[in-house]
Amino acid sequence: MTRFALVFAGIVLALFAAQLTPPAQAWVVGPWTDAVAHVATWVARAFDPDVTVVGATLYSQPNGFAVTILAGCNGLEAMIVLLAAILAYPAPWKHRLAGLAGGVLAVQLLNIVRIVSLFYIGQWNLAVFEWAHLYAWQALIMLDALIVWLLWLRLLPRNPPALATA
């Protein structure tokens, strides 16, 4: 447990610090955030053709309301935490990669729901938007990552080779 905690904390801090650096912002965080905004716009357009996107900003053409996706809203933090938890736990690499793929999908699917919901909550009530944006959705995304990790742990083989020989 101690080893897991140390490796987990080390990976989280290293990746979190790395994603704050200018190269990571330019080459990873920025393009990723733009991609998230475009996917969210594509989803919103399924029922609202008046939504447009410029960079990482979603606009509502009828009322001019816009939301910009910033750090903390692109799902990267939750992905970093999930990645650290999966890598820190002793498991075969095949299972780690499967967990990461499933985890990224689960986190980003919910993150798209978050962005689209916030886009419409903001047009309805800014006080509720702030509450949902700053507190509720942050916790929900991390709960999502926790549930994915717990399910992944459960799906691991009971006696993986790496553990059996330890």
Partner 1 sequence: MASTPSPEPAGPRDGLIGAAPRDILLFAARTLAWAIVFFGAWYVAAKPISLANSWIAARALEATTPAGSVRVAWRNDRTLFEIRPDASTIYRDRLPADLSVDMEVNTLKQTYGVPFFLALLAAARARRIVAKATAGVAILMVLAAIGIACEVAVGFGMTQVAGAGQPFAPGATAGTLFALGLQLGTLIFPCVVPVVLCVAFAGPARVPAA
- Rule CB under 8 A: which residues touch partner 1? 1, 5, 8, 12, 16-17, 20, 71-72, 77, 81, 134-136, 138-139, 141-143, 145-147, 150-151, 153-154
51 or 77: CB nearest partner 1: 77
**8/10 Cα distance (integer angstroms):** 5
Nearest approach, Cβ of residue 155 and partner 1 (Å) = 8
Of 37 and 78, which has the nearer Cβ to partner 1? Answer: 78
Smallest distance from partner 1 to CB 29, Å: 13
Q: How far is the CB of 129 from partner 1 (least distance, A)?
A: 14
Cα gap 114→91, rounded to integer Å: 31
Smallest gap from Cβ 134 to partner 1, in A, equals 6
Q: Please list the residues that pair with 58 across neighbouring strands.
A: 53, 67
Of residues 88 and 116, the one with the C-beta less far from partner 1: 88
For residue 156, give both structure tokens: 């691991």
DSSP assignment of 64-109: --EEE--TTSSSHHHHHHHHHHHHHS---HHHHHHHHHHHHHHHHH
d(CA 108, CA 106): 6
Burial class (CB in 10 A: 0-12, 13-18, 19+), 146: middle
Amino acid at 16: F
**Which lies closer to partner 1 via its Cβ, residue 98 or residue 153?**
153
- Cβ 13 to partner 1, closest distance in Å? 9
Q: Which is nearer to partner 1, 5 or 162 (CB)?
A: 5
Helix (H) or strand (E) holding 14: helix 2-19
